[in-house]
Amino acid sequence: AQSVTQLDSHVSVSEGTPVLLRCNYSSSYSPSLFWYVQHPNKGLQLLLKYTSAATLVKGINGFEAEFKKSETSFHLTKPSAHMSDAAEYFCVVSSGTYKYIFGTGTRLKVLA
């Protein structure tokens, strides 16, 4: 069975400070892991994905995520937040088949 837990429903950071959005997963198989971003009133856009080639994954807009098997985590980070990063972020786990399990989302607020 698979599951994903986003540990924070809301995160607030000041512009220019680091961002950390936390995601823990559970999977019986080697998982695929994804982070999606959803800006207000928009669809979901893929930020990055873990493909087992490297544990540190770089995505768009300066975001990164590190796959830590021992901690079953896939936290999303960015060194310096920008106002345009304010959005909802979803962590997703898949076993590589047609099933995708979504986290409940983390709303990121960026303060000026």
Partner 1 sequence: NAGVTQTPKFRILKIGQSMTLQCTQDMNHNYMYWYRQDPGMGLKLIYYSVGAGITDKGEVPNGYNVSRSTTEDFPLRLELAAPSQTSVYFCASSWNPLEDKPYNEQFFGPGTRLTVL
Q: Which residues would be at the binding site for partner 1 (CB under 8 A)?
A: 32, 34, 36, 42-46, 49-52, 90, 92, 94, 96, 98, 100, 102-105
| Residue 80: CB minimum distance to partner 1, A | 26
Burial 29-43 (b: 16+ CB within 10 A, else e): eebbbbbbbeeeeee
Strand partners, 8: none
Residue 62 or 107: which CB sits closer to partner 1?
107
Residue 51 or 84: which CB sits closer to partner 1?
51
CA distance 89 to 15: 17
Residue 100 or 111: which CB sits closer to partner 1?
100
